[in-house]
């Protein structure tokens, strides 16, 4: 049977659904980003953190070499102008954007479940 929600309560109901969904998606996004981050010393992978506000979730790092590793941009001179991560990691340039794309379906599913 469907849950009954009084009309005057519908705004609060959906607000709480959005807040829960943002929180779950942010935690999921952080976990998947860490999983896809190549490991040398583990510093980059462990540096990712999150910030969650009621309607916004953010996954971030302040490690200076995160951009070249994650996106293949702003390459350091020592890389000789080429995207270089360890071959055994099979790292894909732009993997954080790919993770965000995967989260779209997760968010839709979680919102429906909430």
Per-residue pLDDT of the chain (114 residues; tens, 9 = 90+): 567 767 676 778 788 999 999 999 999 999 999 998 988 889 999 999 999 999 999 999 999 999 999 998 998 888 888 887 777 777 888 999 999 999 999 999 988 886
Beta strand extents in 21-68 (DSSP E only)? 49-53, 56-60
Q: Which residues contact 49 (CB under 8 A, 6 or more apart)?
A: 30, 59, 60, 61
What is the token pair recorded at 12?
A: 């609060």
Question: What pLDDT score does 103 carry?
Answer: 93
* pTM of the model as a whole: 0.81
Q: How many CB atoms lie within 10 A of CB 8?
A: 7
Beta strand extents in 1-114 (DSSP E only)? 49-53, 56-60
Question: What pLDDT score does 20 carry?
Answer: 93
Q: How many CB atoms lie within 10 A of CB 78?
A: 7
């Amino acid at each position: 049977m469907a849950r009954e929600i009084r009309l005057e309560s519908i705004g609060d109901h959906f607000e709480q659904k959005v807040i829960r969904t943002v929180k779950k998606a942010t935690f999921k996004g952080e976990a998947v980003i860490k999983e896809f981050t190549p490991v040398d010393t583990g510093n980059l992978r462990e540096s990712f953190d999150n910030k969650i506000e009621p309607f916004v979730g953010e996954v971030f790092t302040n490690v200076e070499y995160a951009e070249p590793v994650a996106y293949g941009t702003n390459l350091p001179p020592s890389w000789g102008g080429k995207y270089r991560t360890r071959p055994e990691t099979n790292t894909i340039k732009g993997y954080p954007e790919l993770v965000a794309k995967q989260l779209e379906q997760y968010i839709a599913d979680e919102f429906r479940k909430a």
